[in-house]
Chain A
Amino acid sequence: MALNFQNNETSSGRVSLIIALAVSLACLGIYAAEGAQGPLHKVQSLFEGAAAPLQQASAPLGAAVDEAEQGNADNGADEDTMAALREQNEQLTQQLTTAEEQRLENERLRSLLNLRDTYEIEGVAARVIGRSTDAWNQDITLDAGSNQGVESGLTVMGPTGVIGQVISVSGNSCRVRLLTDPQSGAAAMVQSSRAEGIVRGSLDGLLYLENISADVNIQVGDVVLTSGLGGSYTRGLLIGTVARVEGSAGNDSRRIVVAPNGSVDLLQEALVVFSAASDAADRTVRFSSDDAQGAEGGSDQAGAGDSPDDDGGEDGAAPDASGDGKAADEDGSADNADGGEEGR
C-alpha cells in the first residue's frame, strides 16, 4: 500500500482546525449550560423560523413522495388482493346510501360535540408546514407564531388528542416537540383511577406511562389525560388510551404502553391550546365513528367510558389543577415533565 507522507499541511490549516474545534466546543458548552432563553437558543429559534418557509415550500415534495409510495403499494397488489378489494367495493357500495345518511347526521353531531367544544378550548388553529430535518428530534413546524399569540410551552392538539408542546416560537411559525420524542414528557393521569404519572416518548416511537404507583391497577383501555401538574400541559386533555401493560400491579418494573389518540404521520392541521375548561379532566370525549376509526380504536375506549370509574372521576379525587409541579419534581423528572424545554 502506497503511503504518501509528504507534509502538505500548513500551519494555518492546523490553526484553523484548532479554532474550529474550539468554536464548536464553546458553542456546545454554552448551549448545554444556558437555559431555554439563552442566546444560542434564541439564535436557534431564529434559524428555525427562517427555515420554516423553505420547509413549507417543500411540502408538495413530501406529498408527491407519499403518493408515489401509495402508488407503488397499489401496483404490487396481487390477484387475490384485487378480488378481495372488488368484493369489498360491492359491499361498500351497498352501504353507501346508509352511510350518507349517517354522514349527514355525523356532521351535525360533530359540530356540536367536537373536541374544542367539549373542552371549551381557546386557541389558534395552524397548518403543519414542516417536519424534523434530522433523525434525532421528533417535531413539527406550524404556521402560527408569536404574531398569532403562540407562546413557548403551550399544548398542541391534533383532531383527536394531544400531540405535543410548543418549544420555540418565531413571528409566524412555531416548533412543536411531539409526545413521541424521547425528550418529551407530559404529566398525565389515568382518568378512571386518577393515578398520576408521566407520559414519555421513546426512540422506538411508543409512549410509555411511567412513575405510576406500583399498587395502582391499570387496565388496557384506560383513558390517559394530561394532569396539568407543573403547569406545562393544559390539564384534562386527552392523550390516549392504555394499549398494553407489561407486568402486573405491585411490580415496580411494570411498563405501560399508551396508544396516542392524535396520529401525527398524516396530521395536516393542529390546534395550539391557550386555555381549556377548568373541569376538562372530568369531561368525557365522545368521538363520532369516523373519528374513532381515525384514532385507531383508541377513541372508542375513550368515549365508551368502559373504565371502572366511568363517571369521569367526579369522585373528587382529582388533583389540584394549579399543581406546582411538585409531583413531577419528586420523581426526578422535572425537566421532561415540564415539556423538556430545557432538556438540552
Chain B
Amino acid sequence: MELTRENVAALIGAVVAVLLQIMVAPAIALFSAIPNFIVAFCVVRAVAAPYQAGSLIPLALGLVFDLVGGGPVGGMAFVLVLVTFFASRLFAALNNDTLFMPVTIILVSTMLVEVLYGLVVVACGAGVSFGEALLYRVLPCMLYDCVIGLLLYPIAIRVLVEKPLGQPGTPVLR
C-alpha cells in the first residue's frame, strides 16, 4: 500500500472507527441497538473512494470487530469484504453525479451488512431464530448504522478523497 494522502486518511479513519466502536458505541446504545462505526466507515469509504477502497481495511476492521466484540471470528470480516466490494463496484458503475446514488448505495449496503451478519451469527449458533434476530437486533442496528453512515458521508467526501469522483466541472458536495 502506497503512502498517499488517501491511504493515510483511511488508516486514521479506521483507527478512529475502532476506538469509537470500543469506547463510544456502548455508551450511546439505544435500547438493544448499538451503532456500528466500523460498518459505517467501511461502507462510506467504499462509496466515497471506490477505486482506492480495496479489501484490506474491511478485512482488518472486520476481524478487529469480531475479536473485540466476541462474535464469530471472521464473520464480520467476510461480510464487510463482500459488501464493500460490491458497493464500490456498484457506485463506480452507477455514479451519475447526484447525491441520490451514493446515499442509496450506502443505505442498501449498510442494511445488507447487518442482515448478512445476522445470518452468520444465527448460523454460528446464536440460539435464536433469524426472525427473532431480525426483529430485535438487525432492524434496530440497521437503522442506527444508516444514520451514522449518512452523517459520515459528507465528512468522508472531504477527508478521504482528494478529488471526488465525477465528471470535470461537476459541482461537488461541500
List chain A positions with a Cβ less than 8 A from chain B. 1-5, 8-9, 13, 16-17, 19-21, 23-32, 40, 43-44, 47-48, 51, 54-55, 57-58, 61-62, 65, 130-137, 139, 167-168, 175, 182-183, 185, 200, 202-205, 335-336, 340, 343-344
Task: Please classify how large the interface on chain B is, using the bins under 10, 10 to 19, 20 to 34, 35 or more.
Answer: 35 or more
Contact A32 B72, beta carbon cutoff 8 Å: yes
Contact A62 B125, beta carbon cutoff 8 Å: no
Contact A8 B85, beta carbon cutoff 8 Å: no
Interface string of B60-95 (1 = CB under 8 A from A): 001111111111111101100110010001001111
Rounded to whole angstroms, the CA-CA distance of A16 and B56 in the bound complex is 8
Rounded to whole angstroms, the CA-CA distance of A312 and B82 in the bound complex is 57
In the complex with contacts A17-B81, A24-B59, A203-B32, A130-B127 CB distance below 8 A: no
Rounded to whole angstroms, the CA-CA distance of A51 and B74 in the bound complex is 18
List chain A residues, Cβ under 8 A from B102: none
B112 to chain A, nearest CB (A): 15
Among B74, B85, B137, contact of A27 (Cβ-Cβ < 8 Å): B74
Chain B CB within 10 Å — which of A25, A131, A167, A203 has the most? A203
Among A26, A61, A133, A137, contact of B21 (Cβ-Cβ < 8 Å): A133
A/B interface sample: 25 pairs, CB < 8 A: A2-B95, A2-B96, A8-B92, A16-B55, A20-B77, A23-B59, A25-B78, A28-B74, A28-B75, A28-B124, A30-B74, A31-B72, A32-B124, A44-B70, A48-B70, A58-B22, A133-B34, A137-B71, A182-B126, A185-B127, A202-B128, A202-B132, A340-B127, A344-B71, A344-B72
Among A9, A58, A168, A175, contact of B24 (Cβ-Cβ < 8 Å): A58
Rounded to whole angstroms, the CA-CA distance of A293 and B92 in the bound complex is 59
Contact A133 B26, beta carbon cutoff 8 Å: yes
Rounded to whole angstroms, the CA-CA distance of A2 and B165 in the bound complex is 13
Q: Which 9 A-B pairs have the closest CB atoms?
A: A27-B74, A28-B74, A58-B23, A24-B78, A24-B77, A203-B136, A47-B67, A20-B55, A62-B27
Chain B residues numbered 90-133 whose CB sits less than 8 Å from any CB in chain A = 92-97, 120-121, 124-128, 132-133
Contact B68 A48, beta carbon cutoff 8 Å: yes
In the complex with contacts A44-B70, A130-B26, A183-B125 CB distance below 8 A: yes
Among A9, A29, A134, A168, contact of B69 (Cβ-Cβ < 8 Å): A134
List chain A residues, Cβ under 8 A from B65: 134
Smallest CB gap from A65: residue in B: B27
- Secondary structure dominating the interface of B: helix
Contact A13 B33, beta carbon cutoff 8 Å: no
List chain A residues, Cβ under 8 A from B148: none
List chain B positions with a Cβ less than 8 A from chain A. 19, 21-29, 32-34, 36, 51, 54-56, 58-59, 62-75, 77-78, 81-82, 85, 89, 92-97, 120-121, 124-128, 132-133, 135-137, 140-141
List chain A residues, Cβ under 8 A from B55: 13, 16-17, 19-21
Contact B125 A139, beta carbon cutoff 8 Å: no
Smallest CB gap from A19: residue in B: B55
List chain B residues, Cβ under 8 A from A27: 63, 66, 73-74, 77
Smallest CB gap from A28: residue in B: B74
List chain A residues, Cβ under 8 A from B72: 28, 31-32, 344
Among A5, A13, A132, contact of B70 (Cβ-Cβ < 8 Å): A132
Rounded to whole angstroms, the CA-CA distance of A185 and B75 in the bound complex is 23
Smallest CB gap from B85: residue in A: A17
List chain A residues, Cβ under 8 A from B36: 134-135
List chain A residues, Cβ under 8 A from B73: 27-28, 30-31, 40, 43-44
